[in-house]
Amino acid sequence: MKFPRTDERRLHAAPVLDLFSRRVIGLAMSASNDGALARSAIESAAATRSRSRTVRLHSDRGGIYGKREYVRRLEVLEIERSMSRASNPCDNAAMESFFSTLHFELLSRKRFKTPENARAVITEWIENFYNTERRHTTIRNASPIKYELSWQMREKRT
């Protein structure tokens, strides 16, 4: 996603969203929308999650998600790759919804002087509000982290 321009330049972001809890588990930002950005995002997500189950990463058909280095890194991390159908944004609705929320609740209300400032504010919003406090109707009006914790407690009881 392209963020609005900072006073210096545009910033691109590649978040990784857990569809179960709607938690942003990985995030990379860069001035370039390239393979390095996508690989940084999956590295960030892999560091966040331990994998006792199959992990599947869904993306749109953007060129960076088909690059050989990116696909190889997914294979090394044992992450299955899933991609949207061509020209079908509904296949990626959860991520489109996240970007809409980010834009409406944060980006449309702020002006950033530098990419570093934008990066810090966006990261803080995700870590200290979106993942921890913001309620989601798709997960019983809980925040992503609260939803994950309640699910873990139920799993321990069974």
2 has pLDDT over 60? no
Structure tokens at 75: 């294979």
Average pLDDT value over all residues in the chain: 87
**Is the pLDDT confidence value at 104 over 90?**
yes
The encoded tokens of residue 94 equal 């959860």
- Whether residue 119 is contained in a domain is answered as no
Q: How far apart are CA 110 and CA 62, in angstroms?
A: 27
> What domain count does the chain have?
1
CATH number, domain of 15, equals 3.30.420.10
Rounded to the nearest 10 degrees, the angle between the axes of helix 115-125 and helix 93-105 is 110
pLDDT at 124: 97
Neighbours of 111 (CB within 10 A): 11
Of residues 130 and 67, more confidence is placed in 130
Residue 75, domain member (yes or no): yes
Structural domain that includes position 47: 1-85
In a domain, 23, yes or no: yes
Residue 66 lies in a domain: yes
Q: Tell me: the pLDDT tens digits for 20-73?
A: 899 999 999 999 888 889 889 888 988 888 766 667 787 877 777 878 888 888
Kindly state whether residue 2 falls inside one of the protein's structural domains. yes
